[in-house]
């Protein structure tokens, strides 16, 4: 049942994987300042990793945990979970190396590098990017900083031309003068228990190494850092560490001054 749910989730996500670029944080330092008067500044300095989820999605759809992948002829094995000779032969045929594998891999890498260089150029044209450099092997060096007023929601990264999805941070305004901040990419939660995790995210999450700091003079309604906030001179600071072991995304709700 879980395998079927996982395949269904992959089918739903497949169009995004084929048409869009999913980015993930590597080693970084990021800050978010939100003032009670709704002024904010967000910065991110460090590595950004581009995930090629297309192949991983397709592999997930044909995962060997499914009945059709391990059981092309509908054979149920010996009933003890031990594969039959037919199943072993089928899997061996799938895994057999091809003389064209190296050429195919080189072509895919060249295509991915070309796409990532284009993404770097596209992002460099967007306000806030002080530096975007493609380092190779799907890794970028990014220096981003932007300030503004919270009279609308804020997502980063988000770029229509580069077709970026899965923002690192989202700031949501609410009707009662509160603002909710969540940074889903600064945690390693692939929702494996539901069978709906996004293939390829484990590899990126293994490189997660950063510090995210929220600085505010607004009232903190709630936050999920067990160390709480540090208060200095009327401002409150919350610091989250992001590592492969981090399961809970940094989250906070703040009360802003009434307009």
* Per-residue model confidence (pLDDT) at position 53: 59
**Contact criterion met (CB below 8 Å) for 38 and 151:** yes
* Per-residue model confidence (pLDDT) at position 60: 47
d(CA 216, CA 229): 10
d(CA 6, CA 36): 42
* Per-residue model confidence (pLDDT) at position 175: 86
DSSP classification of residue 194? G
d(CA 54, CA 138): 14
pTM across the whole model? 0.75
d(CA 181, CA 31): 12
d(CA 83, CA 89): 10
Q: Which of 170, 210, 165 is nearest to 187 (CA)?
A: 210
Q: How far apart are the first and last CA of the chain?
A: 51
Q: What is the dihedral of CA 84, 85, 91, 94, to 10 degrees?
A: -150
Helix 2-19, helix 53-61: angle, nearest 10? 150
Per-residue pLDDT of the chain (259 residues; tens, 9 = 90+): 444 444 434 344 434 444 457 889 999 999 999 999 999 999 999 999 988 655 554 454 444 444 444 454 445 555 555 555 555 555 555 555 566 788 888 898 999 999 999 999 999 999 999 999 999 999 999 999 999 999 999 999 987 676 666 789 999 999 899 999 999 999 987 554 333 345 556 666 789 999 999 999 999 999 999 999 999 999 999 999 999 999 999 999 999 998 8
* Per-residue model confidence (pLDDT) at position 6: 42
* CA 91 to mean position of chain CA atoms: 31
Quickly list DSSP for 54-99.
HHHHHHHHT-TTSHHHH-TT---TTSSSPPPHHHHHHHHHHH---T
Residue 131: CB partners within 8 Å, gap ≥ 6?
141, 142, 143
At 231 the three-state DSSP class reads strand
């Amino acid at each position: 049942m879980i395998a079927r749910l996982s395949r269904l989730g992959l089918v739903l996500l497949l169009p995004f994987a084929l048409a869009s670029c999913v980015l993930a944080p590597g080693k970084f330092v990021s800050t978010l300042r939100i003032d009670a008067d709704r002024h904010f500044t967000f910065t991110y300095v460090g590595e950004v990793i581009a995930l090629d989820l297309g192949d991983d999605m397709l592999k997930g759809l044909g995962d060997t945990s499914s009945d059709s992948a391990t059981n092309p002829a509908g054979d149920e094995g010996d009933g003890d979970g031990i594969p039959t000779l037919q199943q072993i032969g089928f899997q061996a045929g799938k895994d057999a190396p091809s003389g064209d594998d190296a050429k195919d891999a080189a072509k895919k890498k060249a295509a991915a590098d070309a796409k990532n260089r284009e993404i770097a150029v596209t992002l460099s044209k967007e306000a806030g990017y002080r530096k975007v450099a493609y380092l190779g092997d799907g890794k970028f060096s990014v220096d981003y900083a932007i300030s503004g007023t919270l009279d609308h929601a804020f997502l980063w990264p988000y770029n229509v031309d580069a077709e970026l999805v899965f923002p690192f941070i989202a700031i949501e305004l609410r009707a009662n003068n509160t603002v909710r901040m969540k940074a889903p990419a600064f945690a390693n939660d692939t929702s494996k228990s539901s069978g709906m995790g996004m293939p390829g995210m484990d590899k990126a999450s293994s490189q997660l190494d950063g510090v995210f700091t929220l600085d505010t003079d607004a009232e903190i309604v709630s936050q999920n850092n067990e160390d709480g906030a540090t208060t200095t001179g009327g401002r409150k600071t919350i610091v989250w560490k992001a590592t492969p072991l981090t399961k809970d995304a940094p989250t906070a709700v703040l009360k802003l001054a009434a307009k």
